């Protein structure tokens, strides 16, 4: 770490907020971006400036991940805030929003304050809490939304637990609108989804896995969009993954519903066939989908129907994963692999680089009202320097997370993070 001003030269600046993807240089001073020079090298740098030659590597805003689970408080053997922050830094992620389904749940301002204080003590990446939408995540009574917002939570959600009672959800949306609070909700019909480990279809039937029809996502999403339209509240659709639900989302947005949609890097990268011989590292919630759904999700990302990509980081220890597929815990770690996995769609020519980076930088920053996510004078110096062409093979031993349940284990990717800065501090440097 150093307090010296730092200049990045010979970089490929990728800044979705300004629309620039091209050569340039950037100066960091006192934790902020002091200057951005597009298409040229800076002139007249003083002797006290440390110069870093990017050699053509991508210099972009640090990633903002809206959906990260940790085990702290209550299940620290899975993941602590510190181990999650280390994984984030190694993946070029400079801001994370942690989910409220901890023990105790993050459903009051005191627990929000605990997470913020722990993050300040760790001094790595920015850690923001999402507050519980209902007390104890039980879907019955609203949590202290206004007080949690004042304490610093960025949105409210019950994480993986759908709020089944439509009257409760309507009341929640109306109340949240009054406070200007964003509400995130997982679209999944709980009765159709109960006990499911796979998506209904020929593959699940052949494997003998309990399954859920894609319509379960569509059914709940239709309700959520209708209530968001009724109340005028802002809705964050938490991981849309099926073609039929995407049709509902498109109609809702066309009607003017204030809905923003995310999907996970897992559902962009894998389909149900990847489960193979019952690979429990591929067990997610929502479950991995068919190839038609995966392709529809990629297309929705390319067109902008899906706004944001999340890692859906959900650590689980080996004893929770090395079980029969139906019994294994869902979820995967993803902070460290989010960027290289996302870059695969750039390398394949499916989606332009600047559009991909928008989904993990400026778009989530705009949604949450953060000043990060852009390369602009005066913005926080939250940056990632990534060698786009450098190959890598994901090795569980290299992951910083305490849990190692990565579906990308052994997968060949392109894009190696060389340097991560948060407020101008180097929080990760590749060996």
- The 3-class secondary structure across the chain, one letter per residue, is CCCCCEEEEEEEEEECCCCEEEEEEEEEECCEEEEEEECCCCCCCCCCCEEEECCCCEEEECEEEEEECCCCCCCCCCCCHHHHHHHHHHCCEEEEEECCCCCCCCCCHHHHHHHHHHHHHHCCCEEEECEECEHHHCCCCECCHHHHHHHCCCCEECCCCCCCCHHHHHHHHHHHHHHCCCEEECCCCHHHHCCCCEECCHHHHHHCCCEECCHHHHHHHHHHHHHHHHHCCCEEECCCCCHHHHHHHHHHHHCCCCEEEEEEHHHHHCCHHHHCCCCHHHCCCCCCCCHHHHHHHHHHHHHCCCCEEECCECCCCHHHHCCCCCCCCCCECCCCCHHHHHHHHHHCCCCCHHHHHHCCCHHHHHHHCCCCCCCCCCCECCEEEEEEEEEEECCHHHCCCCCCCCCCCCCEEEEEEEEEEECCEEEEECC
* HSE of 128, CA atoms in CB hemisphere, 13 A: 23
Q: What is the dihedral of CA 166, 172, 175, 181, to 10 degrees?
A: -130
Tens digit of pLDDT per residue, the chain (431 long)?
446 899 999 999 999 999 999 999 999 999 999 999 998 777 667 778 899 999 999 999 999 999 999 999 999 999 999 999 999 999 999 999 999 999 999 999 999 999 999 999 999 999 999 999 999 999 999 999 999 999 999 999 999 999 999 999 999 999 999 999 999 999 999 999 999 999 999 999 999 999 999 999 999 999 999 999 999 999 999 999 999 999 999 999 999 999 999 999 999 999 999 999 999 999 999 999 999 999 999 999 999 999 999 999 999 999 999 999 999 999 999 999 999 999 999 999 999 999 999 999 999 999 999 999 999 999 999 999 999 999 999 999 999 999 999 999 999 999 999 999 999 999 999 98
62-368 fold? TIM Barrel (3.20.20)
Q: Where are the domains of the chain?
A: 6-59+379-429, 62-368
Task: Report the alpha-carbon angle 233-159-189, nearest 5.
Answer: 80
Residue 321, Cβ neighbours under 10 Å: how many? 19
Q: What local confidence, expressed as pLDDT, does residue 47 receive? A: 74
Residue 2, Cβ neighbours under 10 Å: how many? 9
Q: What local confidence, expressed as pLDDT, does residue 3 receive? A: 64
* HSE of 235, CA atoms in CB hemisphere, 13 A: 32
Is 6-59+379-429's fold the same as 62-368's? no
How far is the C-alpha of 346 from the C-alpha of 87, rounded, in Å?
A: 23
Instruction: Give residue 418's Cα distance to chain centre.
Output: 20
Q: How big is the chain, counted in residues?
A: 431
Please say whether the beta carbons of 93 and 333 come within 8 A. Answer: no
Nearest Cα neighbor of 249 from 196, 297, 207, 285 is 297
How far is the C-alpha of 392 from the C-alpha of 413, rounded, in Å?
A: 5
β-bridge partners, 387: 416
How far is the C-alpha of 337 from the C-alpha of 398, rounded, in Å?
A: 11
The burial class, CB within 10 Å (0-12 / 13-18 / 19+), for 422 is buried
At which residue do the structure tokens 């240089």 appear? 25
| pTM passes above 0.85 | yes
Pair of tokens at residue 29: 């001073």
Q: What local confidence, expressed as pLDDT, does residue 1 receive? A: 44
Domain 6-59+379-429 has CATH 2.30.40.10: yes
Edge-to-edge strands of the sheet including 63-68?
63-68, 93-98, 126-129
| Helices 166-179 and 215-231, axial angle in degrees (round to 10) | 50
How far is the C-alpha of 207 from the C-alpha of 210, rounded, in Å?
A: 9
């Amino acid at each position: 770490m150093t307090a010296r001003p730092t200049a990045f030269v010979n970089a490929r600046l990728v800044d979705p907020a300004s629309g620039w993807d091209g050569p340039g240089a950037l100066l960091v001073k006192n934790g902020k971006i002091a200057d951005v020079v597009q298409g040229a090298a800076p002139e007249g740098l003083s002797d006290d400036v440390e110069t870093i030659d990017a050699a053509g590597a991508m210099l972009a805003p640090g990633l903002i991940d809206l959906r990260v689970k940790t085990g702290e408080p209550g299940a620290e053997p899975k993941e602590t805030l510190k181990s999650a922050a280390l994984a984030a830094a190694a993946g070029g992620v400079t801001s994370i929003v942690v989910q409220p389904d901890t023990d105790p749940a993050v459903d009051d301002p005191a627990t929000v304050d605990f997470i913020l204080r722990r993050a300040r003590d760790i001094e790595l990446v920015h850690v923001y809490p999402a507050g519980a939408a209902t007390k104890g995540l039980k879907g019955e009574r609203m949590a202290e939304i206004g007080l949690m917002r004042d304490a610093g939570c960025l949105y409210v959600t019950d994480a993986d637990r759908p709020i089944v009672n439509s009257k409760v959800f309507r009341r929640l949306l109306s109340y949240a609108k009054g406070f200007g609070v964003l509400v995130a909700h997982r679209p999944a019909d709980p009765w159709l989804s109960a006990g499911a480990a796979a998506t209904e279809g020929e593959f699940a039937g052949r494997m003998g896995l309990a399954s859920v029809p894609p319509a379960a996502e569509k059914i709940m999403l239709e309700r959520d969009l209708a209530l968001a339209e009724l109340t005028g509240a802002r809705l964050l659709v938490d991981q849309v993954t099926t073609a039929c639900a995407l049709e509902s989302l498109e109609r809702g947005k066309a009607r003017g519903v204030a809905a923003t949609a995310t999907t996970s890097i897992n559902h962009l990268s894998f389909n149900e066939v990847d489960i193979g011989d019952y690979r429990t590292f591929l067990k997610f919630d929502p479950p991995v989908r068919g190839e038609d759904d995966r392709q529809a999700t990629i297309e929705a990302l390319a067109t902008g129907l899906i706004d944001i990509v999340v890692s859906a980081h959900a650590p689980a220890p080996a004893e929770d994963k090395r079980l029969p597929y139906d019994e294994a815990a869902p979820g995967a770690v993803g902070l460290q692999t989010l960027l290289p996995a996302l870059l695969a769609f750039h390398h394949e020519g499916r989606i332009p680089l600047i559009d991909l980076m928008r989904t993990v930088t400026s778009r989530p920053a705009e949604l949450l009202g953060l000043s990060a996510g852009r390369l602009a004078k005066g913005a926080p110096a939250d940056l990632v320097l990534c060698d786009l062409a450098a190959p890598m093979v994901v090795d569980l031993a290299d992951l910083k997370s305490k849990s190692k349940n990565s579906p990308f284990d052994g997968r060949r990717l392109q894009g190696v993070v060389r340097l991560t800065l948060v407020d101008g501090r180097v929080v990760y440097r590749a060996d």
